[in-house]
Structure 1
Amino acid sequence: MMPRPAQRARVLGARLGAGALLTLLASLMFAGLMGSGIAAAAPAPTTDDTVRVFGTLRNGSEPVAGVKVDAKDGAGAIVESATSSNTGTWEVNVPPGNYSVVIDKTTVPDGVEVQKDTVAVAVVQGSPRPVIFLFGAERSANEVSPAEELTRLAIDGLRFGLIIAICGVGLSLIFGTTGLTNFAHGELVTLGAVVAWFFNVKMGIQLIPATILAIVVGIGIGILNELGIWRPLRRRRSGLIAMLVVSIGLALVMRYLILIFFSDRAEPFDDYQVQKQIGSGAFAITPVNLWCIIISLVVLVAVAVMLQKTRIGKAMRAVADNRDLAASSGINVDRVILFVWAMAGGLATLGGVLFAMSELGGRVQWEMGFKLLLLMFAGITLGGLGTAYGALLGCVIVGLLVQLSTYWIDPDLKYIGGLLVLIIILTIRPQGILGSKARIG
């Protein structure tokens, strides 16, 4: 006999509570509830409530050392000062507000000409700001051509799009195999970066092995999500709308628990903070950004090969095409979906670390995954919901559009492009580039 509505609600609530408890318990265990991690949850003194403003002074390819840099407020008073190191790097920490960052010309070495010695900076809480000063002779208006600048933005857009794809492929596969639109996927991205930060900063593990450990944790979190929440809901035949609402609630719970037990400020990794550009002109790039592109390409190619050549990959595509037909063909659908969740958790974790390193200046923010979620949805919708290759193509296109848009609009507004892509695609071609007009199952 079917339970009455009140009984169904109580059972559903118990299932959801148990699953959420398992997921959050694992995330807290690995993200800061042990030892010194508890201290990170305590309110920070007001003296630490500052934002990092930084840069590297270079005269051509040569670093400029020993130069004093002052951060001045609106009244012209010096708030904080720093001196460039042997590598030309400098850094000040100031409260949020509007500043003029000024080079003290009396400290500039002989033979070095300063072209631009004052930069206005709007400092926002949680957003480290790089500052660029120009040295050398005055440039002609045509020295940096529009083609060169667009080439730089295109390379940066490729990097950004590949990182969105790393995070979004798992989201697309979850939709393809279960029909679930998982709004908590952004928090998996944040959790991955937070766990890697915990291993790197609190436990003193170098960032690369810390990231590998974080990926293992992310896989475990994905498995707990499936076993503790989504599989019980599917077995109770919960509707997709109800599951979507559950994912929104889970996202809110995870996001604010990360805020409580991590920090409301951007926290840096210990490694790879100082980077020297390699290459020149339109193809100048930092080693971190270059490795982000290489790692993203290798991982995405590996995912594509897995989908095409392995038994589990073929089973995943079969379940995505028609779950009932796949089950009648002898495929263990539950095992396939469990593998999808595990892979989605691992990819989201890796994507979170790459996003923090390349896009956020090597710092972790408690809302970073939420900010990326819109672009993930825009990418997988553009490519075709439920298709891994569509997610890859769509996310790369969205990354390119977002970065190229900064040629015409303020960089702080660049994420609006993702929203515009989402609206246009849903209006003109809802199935996306590689999606079919009608999906079965």
Structure 2
Amino acid sequence: MGCVQGIIKTSEGEPAAGLELTMTGGESDETTTTDENGRWSFSVSEAGSYTVAVTEESLPDGQFLKSKDPRTVDVKLHTVSAALFGLSDEPGQASPTTETDDSDSDSEGAEATPGANPNVVEGQPAPEAGGDGFSWPRFWQQLASGIRMGLLLSLGAVGLSLVYGTTGLSNFSHAEMLSMGGIFAFLFMQITGNLWLTGLIVVALMAGVGWLQDAVLWKPLRKKRLSLMQMMIVSIGFSIVLQNIFQFFFGANILRIDPSTPKTVRILGVTLTVQSYIAMGIALVLIIAVGLIMKYTRFGRATRAVADNRPLAEASGIDVQRVIRLVWVMGVALAGLSGMLIGLVLNGIAWNTGWHFLLLLFAAVILGGIGTAFGAIVGAMIIGIIVETANIWLPGDLKHAAALFILIVVLLVRPQGLFGRKERIG
């Protein structure tokens, strides 16, 4: 299945509800209307060229189409395409509104996932370019999006932080585990048709990938006593290899994990999809579970011991290699689930999705205090909220710069991060 969708606003910027749209192309001849958020969508079962038009008779009084020309969109299966219609309070035909097919701009925190326009998915008033001024409704909407992004980032950041804490490795290939999890979810969703079952399969597979990575690659490199710099370069090369594999088999298309049109729910003035609320709940439960495991279980105490003083942990009888292996299994499994949830929330996953999140993952880990699970979670929440709320005042292209600027300021005051420990040098 594919999808053509969009949002229509009046010239005053309010959602245009009740407009009638028609879509023709292939064997389709469908009609739909915009909802209370001005949102509309058509499902497409065959790839091809489709034409979407707004019925002028359904326009509100005093509103006119900026362009009466219909929009022609090339739709691919398992992708989200958009057709944009502008309204004006003055009659007359203007130049056609620019349309996008599957490379919409990002303004809600979707980390440049091509073809995944979260503003369209969430049914918000319109894609925001940033810098349009402050308003409380928009602030609460962006804050909710920031909390959502922070929770999903946390799942990926925990593994990255724990791997560094136990091995000292800055693993640049960790972000590709997000892409891999999303791709696995896309593949098994085609087979099972059940998101919950697909999620369990993804977690199990990614746990196996984590075990295999350490057994085949990282443990042999540790035994050969490669320096951390050499291992970091290996991780960069491994990341590039995985990206090319993903692109070779799946191309540059956006892979829609769930081809159905997401339903939106409005709570306290904030509009998010049902999938977003579920993803946030799952992430929150897992974050709490990770915190309890790290604090109260034998594995958690052993992990903290290895991170604090590896030679002393070995002398105390802790199986360091086993602890590291379990850290890899847990970290990669959480990253894979994070990739699946991100793909659902952003309505698509691509071969380079993880790469776009890499900088934010490292920023979260460093801000919270590298090597600590709790610090990674708090750092991810801060980064997610800053990225989204900064979009109120800044253009979308600069919102990541705002998060990194805050990171620099915090490190100037507290170099070890918010929850890191000071280390004596010399």
Question: 1:62 and 1:382, CA in 2 relative to 1: closer, same or farther beyond 3 A?
Answer: same
2:72 matched to which residue of 1? none
1: distance between equivalents of 2:351 and 2:63? 38
The yes-or-no answer on 1:208 pairing with 2:162 is no
Query: 1:261–1:134: structure 2 CA closer, same or farther, 3 Å change rule?
Result: closer
Aligned position for 1:363: 348
Q: Secondary structure at the match of 2:266?
A: coil
Aligned mates of 1:341, 1:199 — CA distance in 2:
23
**Superposition map of 1:42-441 within 5 A:** 53-55=4-6, 64=18, 66-68=20-22, 83-84=31-32, 89-91=40-42, 103-108=54-59, 118-119=85-86, 120-121=97-98, 123=100, 125=103, 126-129=114-117, 146-201=135-190, 203-270=191-258, 272-281=260-269, 283-358=270-345, 360=346, 362-438=347-423
Q: What is the distance in 2 between the residues matched to 1:134 and 1:328?
A: 60
Q: Is the 8 A contact 1:381 1:430 kept in 2?
A: no
Question: For residues 103 and 316 of structure 1, do their structure 2 counterparts lie closer, same or farther at Cα, with a shift above 3 Å needed?
Answer: same
Q: 1:329 to 1:269 in 2, by over 3 A?
A: same
For residue 162 of structure 1, report the CA deviation from its aligned partner: 0.8
User: How far does the alpha carbon of each residue in 1:399-423 deviate from its partner, in whole angstroms, 9 at most, with x for none?
Assistant: 0000001101223443333443444
Task: Label 1:406 to 1:62 Cα distance change in 2 as closer, same or farther (>3 A).
Answer: closer
CA distance in 1, matches of 2:159, 2:204: 15
Contact residue 316 and residue 336 of structure 1 kept, 8 A: yes
SS of alignment partner, residue 265 of structure 2: coil
CA 1:364–1:331 in structure 2 vs 1: closer, same or farther (change >3 Å)? same
Deviation digits for residues 133-181 of structure 1 (CA, Å, limit 9, x no counterpart): 979xxxxxxxx97222212211110110111111110000000000000
1:277 counterpart SS class: strand
Q: Look up the SS of the partner of 1:284 in the other structure.
A: strand
Q: Deviations over 1:298-340 (max 9, x none)?
A: 0000000000111001111111111111111111000000000
Q: Is contact 1:377–1:422 with CA below 8 Å preserved after alignment?
A: no
Is the Cα contact below 8 Å between 2:165 and 2:307 reproduced in 1?
yes
Whole-angstrom CA distance in 1 between matches of 2:250 and 2:383: 30
AA in 1 matched with 2:163: I
Distance 1:114 1:355 in 2: 40
Query: Please, what is the CA RMSD of the aligned residues?
Result: 3.4
- TM, length-normalised to structure 2: 0.76
How many Å separate the matches in 2 of 1:408 and 1:81? 42
Q: Residue 161 of structure 2 contacts residue 370 of structure 2 at CA under 8 Å; is this kept in 1?
A: yes
Output the CA distance in 2 between the equivalents of 1:357 and 1:249: 28
- % same residue: 32
Give the distance between the partners of 2:161 and 2:195, measured in 1 at CA: 28
Structure 1 gaps, min length 5: 1-47, 71-79, 96-100, 136-143
The runs of 5 or more residues in structure 2 that have no matched partner are 66-84, 87-96, 104-113, 127-132
The answer to whether the Cα contact below 8 Å between 2:134 and 2:392 also exists between their aligned partners in 1 is: no
CA distance in 1, matches of 2:53, 2:405: 38
C-alpha distance in structure 2 between counterparts of 1:300 and 1:148, whole Å: 28
State the Cα distance separating 1:85 from its structure 2 match: 5.8
Q: Which residue identity is paired with 1:338? A: R
Once the two structures are TM-superposed, the CA of residue 356 in structure 1 deviates from its matched residue by 1.2
Could you tell me how far apart the structure 2 residues matched to 1:210 and 1:230 are?
Answer: 28
Matches of 2:189 and 2:3, distance apart in 1: 20
TM-score under structure 1 normalisation?
A: 0.74
Show the counterpart of 2:89. none
Is the CA contact (8 Å cut-off) linking 1:188 and 1:345 kept in structure 2?
A: yes
The answer to whether the 8 A contact 2:189-2:195 is kept is yes
SS in 2 for 1:221: helix
Distance 1:145 1:402, change over 3 A: closer
In 2 relative to 1, CA 134–177 (structure 1 residues): closer, same or farther, beyond 3 Å? closer
Count, aligned residues: 363
Q: Partners of 2:206 and 2:361 in 1: how far apart? A: 18
